[in-house]
């Protein structure tokens, strides 16, 4: 286990930013940490990286407990904060060298991280001259300097244009091949694009911790089917587990079932038993963005 979060609560004054949150992340996983603004994502990431203490609960990173072994945790973790403060007057290389000195890592490592994050063409520039996408690369390069096992990225793609967004997502995927990555975002699509597991928090509480494919098949199953003849809705209602039937057009129907069992063969049997032919059948998953909205709305 790379990150274990046990029953974490954090209160600011009388406000609970995190309320009994638990999850764990295996080494090598890329996990999306999703939630609307104010959900508690940054707070959790600051606790995992030892920048703030929880009010209650335990976090273990790479076998080290954040409260008793913060230095060992810091050695295992690379962190890109949400509003990563950069010295705009510094040159890229200078800035990375400056951080390398803090971490006491070798000079050759500087060139390695610059190449790893695709900064080489911009490495001679001042940070202030860089686009937001390249500034994020500077932050990610710095987080990677001490070759940590775990990378914590707080909203790494917020504020990027569409091209930069795709580039940074690809970079995260690439880094995820060799490291455990937890990255936060408030965009569900991002999670779909980058990782296979999602943890959703809302108002300080964990509401979902699932593989994406499990989430997609969560409870409801939607099939779009085409028969060879027009039929009455009444007849469709004889299919077990059917909760909704929508006539999309002519002989095509969208059927919703409240079961995880694959209903395609049942629909096939239904067609056969009623003297119909099933011309097409495809699974339509509920789109994840609307699922996320329904899970996190007030
Ligand atoms: P997210 O990163 O998901 O947007 P945050 O972890 O930044 O959420 O914030 C969670 C809640 O805690 C918010 O309501 C925020 O206003 C509050 N909060 C965060 N940091 C502080 C702080 N230092 N002092 C008081 N309240 C805070
Ligand atoms: Mg935040």
With bands split at pLDDT 50, 70 and 90, how would you rate the model's confidence at 55?
A: very high
Contact by Cβ (8 Å): 197, 55: no
Of 294 and 195, the structure prediction assigns the larger pLDDT to: 195
Q: Looking at 4-8, 108-112, 186-190, 195-199, which range is the least confident one?
A: 186-190
> Residue range 25-54: average pLDDT?
95
Ligand 1 and 135: CB distance under 6 A = no
| 3-state secondary structure (DSSP) of residue 297 | coil
Residue 17 has pLDDT above 90, yes or no: yes
Q: Which CATH number fits domain 219-296: 3.10.20.30, 3.30.70.100, 3.40.50.150, 3.30.56.10?
A: 3.30.70.100
Ligand 1 and 136: CB distance under 6 A = no
Q: What is the pLDDT of residues 237-271, one digit of tens each?
A: 999 999 999 999 999 999 988 887 889 999 999 99
> What span, in angstroms and rounded, lies between the C-alpha atoms of 285 and 220?
8
Ligand 1 and 42: CB distance under 6 A = yes
Strand ordering across the sheet containing 56-61:
15-25, 3-12, 56-61, 64-65
Question: CA nearest 202: which of 67, 46, 35?
Answer: 35
- Average pLDDT score over the chain: 91
Residue 154 has pLDDT above 80, yes or no: yes
Q: For residue 95, how far is its CA from the centre of ligand 1 (angstroms)?
A: 29
Q: What is the pLDDT of residues 167-193, one digit of tens each?
A: 899 999 999 999 999 999 988 888 888
With bands split at pLDDT 50, 70 and 90, how would you rate the model's confidence at 217?
A: low
Which pLDDT does position 176 carry in this prediction? 92
What the block records as the tokens of 145 is 């300097």
Q: For residue 185, how far is its CA from the centre of ligand 2 (angstroms)?
A: 8
Please indicate whether the domains covering 3-216 and 219-296 agree at the CATH topology level: no
pTM of the model: 0.81
Q: What is the pLDDT of residues 61-96, one digit of tens each?
A: 999 999 999 999 999 999 999 988 888 999 999 999
With bands split at pLDDT 50, 70 and 90, how would you rate the model's confidence at 15?
A: very high
| 3-state secondary structure (DSSP) of residue 139 | helix
Ligand 1: residue whose CA is nearest its atom 10: 40
Burial (0-12, 13-18, 19+ Cβ within 10 Å), 95: buried
What the block records as the tokens of 71 is 């230095």
Residue 286 has pLDDT above 70, yes or no: no
Q: Residues, the chain, total?
A: 298
Ligand 1 and 17: CB distance under 6 A = yes
Which pLDDT does position 290 carry in this prediction? 73
Question: What fold characterizes domain 3-216?
Answer: Rossmann fold (3.40.50)
Return the domain boundaries, the chain: 3-216, 219-296
Residue 18 has pLDDT above 80, yes or no: yes
Which pLDDT does position 218 carry in this prediction? 64
Ligand 1 and 38: CB distance under 6 A = yes
Given ligand 1 and candidates 38, 49, 153, which is best to mutate, with the most ligand atoms within 8 Å of its CB? 38
Contacting residues for 134 by C-beta, under 8 A, at least 6 apart = 119, 122
Q: For residue 18, how far is its CA from the centre of ligand 1 (angstroms)?
A: 9
Ligand 1 and 155: CB distance under 6 A = no
Contact by Cβ (8 Å): 62, 76: yes
Which pLDDT does position 107 carry in this prediction? 85
Ligand 1: residue whose CA is nearest its atom 17: 17
């Amino acid at each position: 286990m790379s990150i274990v979060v046990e029953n974490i609560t954090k209160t600011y004054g009388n406000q609970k930013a995190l309320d009994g949150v638990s999850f764990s992340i295996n080494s090598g996983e890329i996990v999306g940490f999703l939630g609307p603004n104010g959900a508690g994502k940054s707070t959790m990431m600051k606790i995992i990286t030892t920048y703030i203490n929880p009010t209650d609960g335990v976090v273990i990173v790479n076998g080290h407990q954040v409260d008793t072994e913060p230095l060992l945790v810091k050695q295992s973790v690379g962190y890109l904060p949400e509003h990563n403060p950069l010295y705009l007057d510094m040159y890229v290389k200078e800035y990375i060298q400056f951080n390398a000195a803090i971490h006491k890592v070798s000079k050759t490592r500087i060139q390695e991280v610059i190449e790893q994050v695709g900064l080489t063409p911009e490495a001679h520039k001042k940070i202030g001259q860089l686009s937001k996408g390249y500034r994020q690369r500077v932050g990610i390069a710095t987080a990677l300097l001490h070759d940590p096992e775990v990378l914590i990225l707080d909203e790494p793609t917020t504020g990027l244009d569409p091209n930069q967004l795709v580039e940074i997502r690809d970079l995260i995927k690439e880094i995820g091949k060799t490291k455990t990555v937890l990255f936060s975002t408030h965009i569900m699509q991002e999670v779909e694009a980058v990782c296979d597991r999602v943890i959703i928090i809302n108002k300080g509480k964990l509401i979902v911790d699932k593989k994406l494919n499990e989430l997609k098949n969560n409870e409801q199953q939607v099939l779009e089917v085409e028969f060879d003849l027009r039929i009455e809705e009444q007849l469709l209602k004889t299919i077990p587990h059917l909760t909704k039937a929508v006539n999309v057009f002519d002989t095509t129907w969208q059927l919703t079932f409240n079961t995880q069992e694959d209903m395609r063969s049942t629909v096939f049997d239904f067609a056969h038993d009623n003297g119909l032919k099933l011309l097409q059948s495809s699974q339509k998953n509920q789109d994840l963005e609307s699922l996320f909205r329904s899970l996190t709305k007030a």
